[in-house]
Amino acid sequence: MNHDKLAELLFPRITKTPQDYETIYPPRSLPDGAKVTRLGPSPTGFIHLGNLYGAFVDERLARQSGGVFYLRIEDTDDKRYVEGAVETILTSLDFFGIDFDEGATIDGAIGDYGPYYQSQRGEIYQCYVKELVKKGQAYPCFLTEEEISDIRAKQEANKENPGIYGHYAACRDLTLEEIEANIAAGKSYVIRLKSDGDQDPEKARVISVEDGIRGTLSMPENYQDVVILKATGIPTYHFAHVVDDHLMRTTHVIRGEEWISSLPIHVELFEKLGFEMPVFCHTAQLMKLDNGNKRKLSKRKDPELSLDYYRQEGYVPEAIREYLLTILNSNYEEWRQENPDAAATDFLFQTEKMSNSGALFDLDKLNDVSKDVLVKLPAPQLCQFMKDWAGEFQPEILPLFEGHEDYVEKILDLGRSGKKPRKDLVYGKQIFEFINYFFDEHFEIQDAYPENAADDAKEILTKYLETYDHGDDQSQWFDKIRTIAEELNYAARPKDYKKNPDQYKGHVGDVSTVIRIAIMGRSQSPDIWEIQQILGEDRVKSRIQAQIV
User: C-alpha distances in angstroms, 304 versus 48, 97, 356?
Assistant: 9, 19, 22
Asked which of 439, 456, 476 is the last residue of a domain, the reply is 439
For residue range 201-219, list pLDDT tens digits in order. 889 999 999 999 999 999 9
Going by pLDDT thresholds of 50, 70 and 90, the confidence category of residue 116 is: very high
3-state SS class at 228: strand
Give me the percent of the chain exceeding a pLDDT of 90.
87
- CB-count exposure of residue 132 (10 Å: 0-12, 13-18, 19+): buried
By the 8 A CB rule, do 204 and 198 touch? Answer: yes
Q: Tell whether 370 is covered by a domain.
A: yes
Regarding whether 141 and 262 lie in a shared domain, the answer is yes
* Residue 520, pLDDT score: 97
Q: Tell whether 30 is covered by a domain.
A: no
* Residue 426, pLDDT score: 97
* Residue 299, pLDDT score: 84
Regarding whether 408 and 273 lie in a shared domain, the answer is no
137 pLDDT exceeds 80? yes
Regarding whether 401 and 338 lie in a shared domain, the answer is no
Q: Tell whether 316 is covered by a domain.
A: yes
Higher pLDDT, 514 or 83: 514
Regarding whether 391 and 428 lie in a shared domain, the answer is yes
* Residue 34, pLDDT score: 97
Regarding whether 381 and 369 lie in a shared domain, the answer is no
Q: Tell whether 76 is covered by a domain.
A: no
Q: Indicate the DSSP class of residue 283.
A: E
Q: Of the candidates 427, 407, 433, 441, which has an alpha carbon nearest to the alpha carbon of residue 524?
A: 433
By the 8 A CB rule, do 515 and 480 touch? Answer: no
For residue range 75-88, list pLDDT tens digits in order. 887 777 788 888 88
CA distance 518 to 537: 14
CATH label of the domain that carries residue 242: 3.40.50.620
Regarding whether 448 and 548 lie in a shared domain, the answer is yes
Q: Of the candidates 249, 253, 24, 260, which has an alpha carbon nearest to the alpha carbon of residue 127?
A: 24
* Residue 85, pLDDT score: 84
* Residue 127, pLDDT score: 98
Going by pLDDT thresholds of 50, 70 and 90, the confidence category of residue 45 is: confident
Asked which of 350, 374, 398 is the last residue of a domain, the reply is 374
By the 8 A CB rule, do 450 and 506 touch? Answer: yes
Give me the percent of the chain exceeding a pLDDT of 70.
100
* Residue 549, pLDDT score: 86
Mean pLDDT of 497-501: 94
501 pLDDT exceeds 80? yes
* Residue 190, pLDDT score: 98
Q: Tell whether 246 is covered by a domain.
A: yes
Regarding whether 260 and 164 lie in a shared domain, the answer is yes
Regarding whether 172 and 255 lie in a shared domain, the answer is yes
Angle at 337 between CA 333 and CA 342, to 5 degrees: 95
* Residue 61, pLDDT score: 96
Strands 279-283 and 252-256: parallel
Q: Tell whether 54 is covered by a domain.
A: no
Strands 102-105 and 286-290: unpaired
Provide the number of structural domains found in the chain: 4
Q: Tell whether 449 is covered by a domain.
A: yes
Mean pLDDT of 483-504: 95
Mean pLDDT of 417-430: 93
Regarding whether 434 and 308 lie in a shared domain, the answer is no
- Catalytic residue numbers, as ranges: 299
Least confident range from 23-37, 282-296, 305-319: namely 282-296
By the 8 A CB rule, do 72 and 103 touch? Answer: yes
User: C-alpha distances in angstroms, 288 versus 324, 361, 362?
Assistant: 14, 5, 6
For residue range 147-170, list pLDDT tens digits in order. 999 999 999 999 999 999 999 999
Asked which of 397, 417, 439 is the last residue of a domain, the reply is 439
Q: State which residues form the domain around 384.
A: 377-439
Alpha helices (runs of H) in 347-397, residue ranges in sequence order: 363-374, 379-393
CATH label of the domain that carries residue 467: 1.10.10.350
CA distance 486 to 495: 14
For residue range 346-384, list pLDDT tens digits in order. 999 999 899 888 788 999 999 999 999 999 999 999 999
Regarding whether 537 and 449 lie in a shared domain, the answer is yes
CATH label of the domain that carries residue 311: 1.10.1160.10
* Residue 298, pLDDT score: 87
For residue range 217-256, list pLDDT tens digits in order. 999 999 999 999 999 999 999 999 999 999 999 999 999 9
Mean pLDDT of 167-177: 96
CA distance 177 to 529: 93
Regarding whether 129 and 270 lie in a shared domain, the answer is yes
* Residue 235, pLDDT score: 95
* Residue 86, pLDDT score: 86
Regarding whether 382 and 368 lie in a shared domain, the answer is no
* Residue 418, pLDDT score: 83
User: C-alpha distances in angstroms, 376 versus 129, 341, 363?
Assistant: 55, 9, 20
> Would you report the helix, strand and coil content of the chain in percent, each value rounded to 5?
50, 10, 40
* Residue 48, pLDDT score: 87
Q: Tell whether 96 is covered by a domain.
A: no
Mean pLDDT of the residues in the chain: 95
